[in-house]
Amino acid sequence: MYDKDIVMLQIAASKMDPNHFLILVLLRFELFDYFNRSCSSKDQDELTQWNRLTEEMLYLLIAIIERYVPGISQLTKEDVTMREVIHLLCIEPMAHSSLVKALPENESHETGLETVITKVATFKPGVSGHGLYEVKKEHLVEFNPFFYHYSRSQHSKAEESQKKRRAQEGYDKLRPPVPPAFCSDFSYIVQLLCCDIMVHILRNVLQRAAEDRPTHWTEAMIQRALHLIGQALLEEKSQLEDVTAEEVTFDFSLKMGAEHGKSVFLLLSKIKTLPSLEAQKDMIKWVLQMFEVVKCLRENSSPTVSMSMETAKPEESAQDKEKAERKRKAEAAKLHRQKIMAQMSAMQKNFIESNKFLYDNMPESGTQGETVAVAVGPHRGSTPADREVLTCILCQEEQEVMAQAPAMGLTACVQRSTVLTQCRGKPLFMSPDLAVGTHTGSCGHVMHATCWQYYEAVQNTTRNRLHAELIIDLENGEYLCPLCKSLCNTVVPLIPLEPLTFDENAAIIGEHLTLPRWIQILSARIKGLQSIAQDNGSTGLCGEGQPDFRSILSYGVQERKFSDSITEMLVVCATTVHRVGLKTAPNELCPRVSIMAWNTCAFTIQAIENILEQEGKPLFGSLQNRQLAGMKAIVQFSATQGLKSSQAVIQRHFTDMLGLLPVMSRKNTPSLLEVDLFHLLVGLVLSIPSLYQEETVDLQPSAVSSAYNHLHILHLVTMAHVLQILLSSAERVKTGIAPFLRCAALFFNCLTGVPPPEECSYLALPSNVFQLFHDHRWCGSPVVTKALKGKIQTVYPRKRNRLIELPEDYSTLLNQASHFRCPKSTDDERKHPTLCLFCGAMLCSQSSCCLSQLEGEDVGACTAHAATCGAGVGMFLIRECEIVLMASRTRGSTYPAPYLDDYGETDPHLRGNPLHLCPERYRKLNQLWQQHCILEEIARSLEVVNVMFAFEWQML
């Protein structure tokens, strides 16, 4: 319905006899005979049509009585805008931009919102999102549920919203608002409400409901009729308050009450009891009270006293009933809780009495904690022997995770990362700079290996490739998790924890496996293996000259066996990690496959520890289930991966890594300052089982042997890290070594499954780490000498990487961008400056002047920069105040910027609102990067957008 149509009808109503006007309206809606009772029908469809037409006619009459147009009533344009804003906010709290879009514009393309919004609404800023305006409580009385700018859905939503809010705040129920006065030329319109035809229509509608014939009326008809009656009574009350009763010509209450006697009040009283009109009961009560008020005003008595008496009684009685009901429910709930607590107490006492001998033999809690809370060494706690039964998200079948069962795996995404790097752009090396690591994350969903292979095959069919190739790289094994649609490119096989127990010979073995003796055995084993390799398998040099060559085998047990399915998935996952981490072709026979598996295990743990430290969360108990499940799966996979690898290759890796430590220094090895010692710890712990194997012997360390292996390796690497800190940092050792110990605690927790307490006792380290050097003098070691001569590259503890600091005002960034000139362009033309949020570099994007070659292809400045700065992943802020996320040369998406205006909204394309940095939004952006979720965010965004043609992201 158009506003100009309503104005035309109001002009006609102001110049015509009201009865004549309403007869024309009835004829136009083809309802004249229906209200004249000259036609009747039993046809259900025809009755439904009449009811619908009656609803529409009553709605039109409500709109004609409206007077919120300057010139028709004594209102200004500002008053009209205020009313529009109030009714929009009565639907729901809205953002500033949503209000601007919803309001009509004037001839100057202005809405007038800024001049009225503070008068009618309260702004509630959002924590990280846009703020919302909420209508003030004192303006709720102006709400009209039949506001003619509402659509049908808006009408229902606004009515429900206002009923809910008024019930919560104890406010009055929905009432027709008090209208402003008409201008003198339009004052005759109000006579429509009290003319004979209007009284007949309203009385006829109420009569249908009172006769309780459901097919002849609807609740919407009754609601509209009651609204018109309320408007008429408010008009009559307003006129009676301004002049004396003798001067008032508006006699609606007299016509409804006096002429027809008690029938109207009887009709209202009768329909008030109808169950189908329960929602209109309050409105009916208010209408009856208004009749009484108008009657009192005509009789010159005190209407306010009468009204307050009438309204107070039902309200007070209703409030008393509600209070009594709440009190009764509270007492019943209290008694129920007491009864349950008494039952639980009785059951507890009964259990204690029945199992008294268990409590008598239970050890003290302190001693029990001391024996269980160690993950390394001979006092290691026991591994939980819980059965792990998981459900495949594809076939929905449950299966227990077992070594000899078909393989089950976690969906995972392997990606190169520079989140922890201390020096961007260096080549891959296990250095303390952590220049480029390989991170493996999981969404935590489980599939059978066979189900995953089938799902991957279906995804690669021609029918599904068209749109999928715009989101994922099918050629590189990428897929979307079937359940949560996270981006994945492999499956990490689930390996069950092996329950380990110490036998009665543990103490005897411990006396022989002291650290010096352990080093002696390892040295003999390594030299013997080297001799065998040099003599092409002959063991002649390993007899009398190497008496301890095979003594390590006495501490071995039968190797653990796995099903063919699990073994196959170990190879698949390891090959993916190797391929992605080194950006090379798949090659399961490459010697670096095992190293990459250990490296991704170490880097993933370091990334998780970094997140927990930055967010101030405790090391244990604060991880999400998917993060914890993924970390445990990665550790167990890395520990088991060597089954299909050449044991001779792994033995060489172990020898090379051990040679980095002063206890067994070798020539041509990197300096101690050039090695990340947590990667070294993980590699040594996971590769030492290879020393227990020969061509004819397949053993693995026993429980006791593993405990001492872990303990001695941890002590040696910790000593080396202390030396690293002393040589390269002025910080206290305690501060510098904390991140290493936190990572070690997470690693051994996932490797052994021992429940975690504090790190110090958990890792079986002395409270003063310098006590580890009591029997060792490393000052004269060649490793230390080389380190003293080497260049200090990393200071401990490492700096925790975050996104760059941004100015609070976005105009500061615009000023910086205005002075940017392309370094490769000779003209003064301004380019498209783009800011890297990882390192702060300003780049020239979307321009041919800065194209460079990357792997034989022309790429833009941002793509080339992301390849070195973010290992292919980028996060850029462009001048139009939008974030661009990039992943490789083929994928990217936009993301809301952290700059918001005063209304808590972003302003893409810079419409002109002042923008300020939102710390919470920027923290979430940093979290997106730190948690390696940029690839996942891009995939989700592309899937929602559903583009058919890919954007050339490589030219950015």
Give the model's pLDDT for residue 714.
Answer: 92
Angle at 715 between CA 710 and CA 716, to 5 degrees: 100
pLDDT digits (tens, 9 = 90+) for 261-293: 456 778 888 888 888 888 888 888 888 888 888
Asked whether the predicted pLDDT for residue 365 surpasses 60, the reply is no
Q: 459 falls in which pLDDT band (50, 70, 90)? A: confident
- Contact criterion met (CB below 8 Å) for 233 and 291: yes
Angle between helix axes 196-210 and 44-65 (nearest 10 degrees) is 140
d(CA 218, CA 487): 53
Of 258, 286, 301, the residue at which a domain comes to its end is: 301
Residues whose CB is less than 8 angstroms from the CB of residue 859 and which lie 6 or more positions away in sequence, other chains included: 851, 852, 853, 867, 889, 954, 955
Residues with Cβ within 8 Å of residue 399, at least 6 apart in sequence: 389, 390, 392, 405, 406, 408, 448
User: In what helix (H) or strand (E) does residue 471 lie, and over which residues does it extend?
Assistant: helix 462-471
Q: Would residue 687 count as lying in a domain? A: yes
Q: Which two tokens stand for residue 337?
A: 């809780």
Supply the mean pLDDT for the chain: 80
Amino acid 173 reads: K
Residues 88 and 190 in one domain: no
Lowest mean pLDDT: which of 692-706, 745-759, 780-794, 908-922?
A: 780-794
* Spatial distance between the Cα atoms of 141 and 149, rounded to a whole number of angstroms: 18
SS (H, E, C) 477-493: CCEECCCCCCEECEEEE
SS3 405: coil
Instruction: Report the CATH number that the domain containing residue 104 is assigned in CATH.
Output: 1.10.10.2670
Are residues 566 and 680 both part of a single domain?
yes
Measured distance CA(933)–CA(925) in Å, rounded: 10
The verdict on residue 880 lying in a domain is yes
pLDDT attached to residue 466:
55
Please report whether residue 822 resides in a domain: yes
Query: Are 735 and 819 found together in one domain?
Result: no
Contact 134, 122 (CB under 8 A): yes
CA distance 616 to 610: 10
Q: Do 776 and 663 fall within a single domain? A: yes
Long-range interactions of 454-462: CB distance < 8 A, separation 24+: 454/394, 455/394, 455/479, 455/482
> 490-493 and 408-417 as β-strands: parallel, antiparallel, unpaired?
antiparallel
Is the residue at 794 inside a domain? no
DSSP per-residue letters across 597-643: HHHHHHHHHHHHHHHHHHTT--SSS-S-HHHHHHHHHHHHHHHHGGG
Q: State whether 81 and 62 are in the same domain.
A: no
Same domain, residue pair 188 and 151: no
How far is Cα 421 from Cα 37, in angstroms, rounded to an integer?
87
Give the model confidence (pLDDT) of 661-684 as tens digits. Answer: 877 766 667 777 788 899 999 999
The gap from C-alpha 312 to its chain's centroid, in whole angstroms, comes to 48
pLDDT tens-digit readout, 87-131: 898 888 888 888 888 887 766 667 778 888 888 888 887 655 677
Which residues are 556's β-sheet partners?
701
Whether residue 164 is found in the same domain as residue 184: no
The pLDDT of residue 357 is 52
Look at residue 943 and give its three-state secondary structure.
helix
Do 831 and 929 fall within a single domain?
A: yes
* Per-residue pLDDT tens over the stretch 381-409: 777 777 888 999 999 999 988 888 899 99
For the segment 31-57, the average pLDDT, to the nearest whole number, is 83
pLDDT of residue 831: 65
pLDDT tens per residue, range 123-161: 887 655 677 888 888 888 888 888 888 888 888 888 888
**Residue keyed to tokens 């026979």:** 589
Q: Which two tokens stand for residue 217?
A: 């009326």
441 within 8 A of 417, measured Cβ to Cβ: no
Q: Is residue 314 in some structural domain? A: no
- pLDDT value for 448: 93
Q: For 363-372, 530-539, 555-564, 604-613, which range has the lowest pLDDT when averaged over its residues?
A: 363-372
Q: Is the dihedral of CA 514, 516, 518, 520 positive or negative?
A: negative
Q: What is the pLDDT of residue 364?
A: 45
Q: Which of 789, 820, 845 represents a domain boundary (last residue)?
A: 789
Tell me whether residue 115 is in a domain: yes
Domain check: are 907 and 772 in the same one? Answer: no
The half-sphere exposure of 907 on its side-chain side, counting CA atoms within 13 A, is 19
Tokens of 673: 């300052």
Q: Are 469 and 461 in contact (CB under 8 A)?
A: no
Interval 740-749 mean pLDDT: 92
- Are 395 and 471 a contacting pair, CB within 8 Å? no
In angstroms, the CA 392 to CA 940 distance is: 23
Q: What is the CA 205 to chain-centroid distance, rounded?
A: 52
Q: Is the pLDDT of residue 38 over 70?
A: no
Q: What pLDDT does 327 receive?
A: 76
- The reported pTM is 0.74
Task: For residue 931, tell me if it sits in a domain.
Answer: yes
Please list, in sequence order, all residues whose beta carbon lies within 8 angstroms of the beta carbon of residue 303, skipping any fewer than 6 positions away.
293, 294, 296, 297
CA-CA-CA-CA torsion sign (598, 600, 603, 607): negative
How far, in Å, CA of 813 to CA of 811, rounded? 5
Q: Half-sphere exposure (CA, 13 Å, Cβ side) for 249?
A: 6
Q: Say if residue 802's pLDDT is above 80.
A: yes
Check whether 181 has a pLDDT greater than 80.
yes
Residues 120 and 242 grouped into a single domain: no
Which residue among 301, 334, 367 closes a domain? Answer: 301
Q: Is 835 in the same domain as 760?
A: no
Q: What is the pLDDT of residue 604?
A: 94
Q: CB burial class (10 A; 0-12, 13-18, 19+) of residue 20?
A: exposed
Structural domain including 817 reads 810-955
Which of 285-289, 421-425, 913-917 has the least mean pLDDT?
421-425
Q: Which residues contact 507 (CB under 8 A, 6 or more apart)?
A: 378
> Using CA atoms, how far apart are residues 290 and 288, in angstroms rounded to an integer?
5
| In-domain check, residue 269 | yes
Determine the Cα–Cα distance for residues 809 and 511; give it in Å rounded to an integer: 67
Number of domains composing the chain: 4
H helix runs in 893-953, sequence order: 919-930, 934-945
Instruction: Give the tens place of pLDDT for each residue, 188-231.
Output: 888 888 888 988 888 888 888 887 777 888 888 888 889 998 88
Do 195 and 164 lie in one domain? The reply is no
SS3 assignment, position 445? strand
Q: According to the model, what pLDDT value does residue 598 have?
A: 93
Task: List residues bridging with 878 in a β-sheet.
Answer: 834, 882
C-alpha torsion sign, points 399, 402, 404, 408: positive
